[in-house]
Amino acid sequence: TFVVTENCIRCKYTDCVEVCPVDCFYEGPNFLVIHPDECIDCALCEPECPAEAIYSEDELPDDQKDFTELNAELSEVWPNISEKKDPLPEAEQWDGSADKRQYLER
């Protein structure tokens, strides 16, 4: 499965949802997640993310491994998103900023 990681927080560009053939993205207030049981590993979303926040589970950086569980958990409760929308207003400013976990809204 593919996993959305920390750098999506407070950016939420949503380019990823547009290419997903199985519509397995779920949307929270300032972050998106992938449903691990629905993702078919097509890899189409990974290069689409301007924040480079999407990784194959096998290639997750060590400091992002907790996002596997977070994607599984939050994709069960958040609503589905299948169409691109505007990024969050300060997306460019937050892109690449460290320690964004603390800002994750549920």
Q: Site for ligand SF4 (CB under 6 A): which residue of 3, 8, 9, 39?
A: 39
- Cα 4 to Cα 81: distance, rounded to the nearest angstrom: 14
- Is residue 16 involved in binding ligand F3S (CB under 6 A)? yes
What is the number of other CB atoms lying within 10 angstroms of the CB of residue 38?
15
> Mask of contacts with ligand F3S, 44-73, x by CB under 6 A?
-----x-x-xx-------------------
- Is residue 41 involved in binding ligand SF4 (CB under 6 A)? yes
Helices marked H in 1-106: 15-19, 67-74, 91-94
3-state SS, residue 47: helix
Q: What residue ranges bind ligand SF4 (CB under 6 A)?
A: 2, 19-20, 22, 24, 34, 39-45
